[in-house]
Amino acid sequence: MKNRHILPLAAVMLVVGILTFGTIFLIPWLPTAAAVEAVRTDQLIWFETIVSGVIFTIVTSFVIYSAWAFRAKEGDESDGPPTHGNTSLEIAWTAIPVVLIAIVAGWSVLVVNRNETAQKVQDVVHVKTWQYAWEFDYPSLGISSGDLHVPEGTQVKLNINSFDVIHGFWVPQFRLQIDAVPGITTHLLFTPNKAGTWYVICNELCGEGHSQMRARIIIQTPADYAAWAAQAQAQATAAAAASSTPAATH
Ligand SMILES: [Cu+2]
C-alpha cells in the first residue's frame, strides 16, 4: 500500500471505530445478569461482539476509503488495472477466521458444560405450567407458590411439566430458557447470584393469554429465603388443619 493512503485510511478507521465501539458500549444491550450462568454467557457474548466490532471497523474503513480514493475520474470509461490476487492476504483472511471460530466454538462448549454441571447441593423445584399460569412446588418444603423464590448462591434444579400445550420457561436475567412440553419432564439448572425480583416469561406462543403468562422470580439472601420458607410452611400447616377440622355450623 502506498504511503499516501495510510494517513487518510487511519482517519477513516478512527471515525468508524469510534462510531462502532460507541454503539457497542454506550447502549445497555443486555439486561442485568442475575445468575452465574448469565455471567459466563455474557463473557462469551462480549468477546464475540468486540472481535466482530474490530473486523467490522477494518473492513468498513477499507471499503469507504477505497470507494473514495480509487473512484473513476469523470468520463473515464477504461477498465481498471488487472489484479491477480494476493496469496498472503488470502491465507490471512482464511486462517484468522478459522482460529476465531475455533476459539468461539471451544469456549461455547465450555460454557454449556459448566452451566449444565450439577452441584452436590441443590434446591429442587417442580414447575407446573398451563394456559396461562405457573406454579412452583417445593417437594423438600411441602409447599407451593405462585412466585418462584430461590436463594442466592445455591444451585436450583427445575423439573418442568406442562398440562396442556408447549410453554417456555425464560428468565432474561439468567440468559437461559427451556420448553415445558406436555408428556415429558424437562430440566434446567441455574445458580442465582443477585438478590432481586425478576420475571419468568413464557417464551412459546401458547394461546391468546401468552403475553400475560408471567410469574415473579424472587432471588433472596439465604436468611430471607429461610424466613419465607418457614412462613409459607406455617401457612400451609394452618390451612391443612383448618380444612380437616369439621365445621361446627354445619
Ligand atoms: Cu405459555
Return the C-alpha cell found at 204: 412459546
Residue 213: CB atoms within 10 Å: 21
222 Cα–ligand 1 center, Å: 30
Structure-block grid coordinates of residue 113? 458444560
Provide the residue ranges of all domains of the chain, joining segments of one domain with +: 1-70+111-117, 122-240
Q: Is 208 exposed, middle or buried (0-12, 13-18, 19+ CB in 10 A)?
A: exposed
d(CA 196, CA 217): 8
Distance separating the N- and C-terminal Cα atoms of the chain: 98
Q: What local confidence, expressed as pLDDT, does residue 97 receive?
A: 94
Specify the DSSP class assigned to residue 217: E
Q: Are 210 and 132 in contact (CB under 8 A)?
A: yes
Going from the Cα of 226 to the center of ligand 1, the distance in angstroms, rounded, reads 30
How far does the centroid of ligand 1 lie from the alpha carbon of residue 120, in Å? Answer: 31
Count of Cβ atoms closer than 10 Å to residue 137 Cβ = 15
CATH of 122-240, one of 3.40.50.2000, 2.60.120.10, 2.60.40.420, 2.70.70.10: 2.60.40.420
Ligand 1 geometric centre to CA of 215 (Å)? 11
d(CA 131, CA 194): 30
The CA 216 to ligand 1 mean position distance, Å, reads 15
Q: pLDDT tens-digit profile of 209-247?
A: 999 999 999 999 999 999 999 999 998 888 888 887 665
Distance 134 CA to ligand 1 centre (A): 9
Q: Write down how long the chain is.
A: 250
pLDDT tens track for 144-155? 999 999 999 999
pTM as predicted: 0.83
Ligand 1 midpoint to CA 76 (Å): 63
Residue 242 is predicted with a pLDDT of 84
Q: Residue 11: what pLDDT? A: 97
- Give distance in angstroms: CA of 182 to centre of ligand 1: 12
Q: Which residues contact 198 (CB under 8 A, 6 or more apart)?
A: 32, 34, 171, 172, 173, 216, 217, 219
State residue 248's pLDDT score: 53
Element (H, E) at 16: helix 3-26
What whole-number distance in Å separates Cα of residue 63 and Cα of residue 11? Answer: 13
Q: What is the pLDDT of residues 19-46, one digit of tens each?
A: 999 999 999 999 999 999 999 999 999 9
Q: Which amino acid, 69?
A: A
Is the pLDDT reported for residue 250 higher than 80? no
- Alpha-carbon gap, residue 229 to 47, rounded angstroms: 40
CA dist 150 and 216 (Å) reads 11
The whole-number average pLDDT for the span 61-70 is: 95
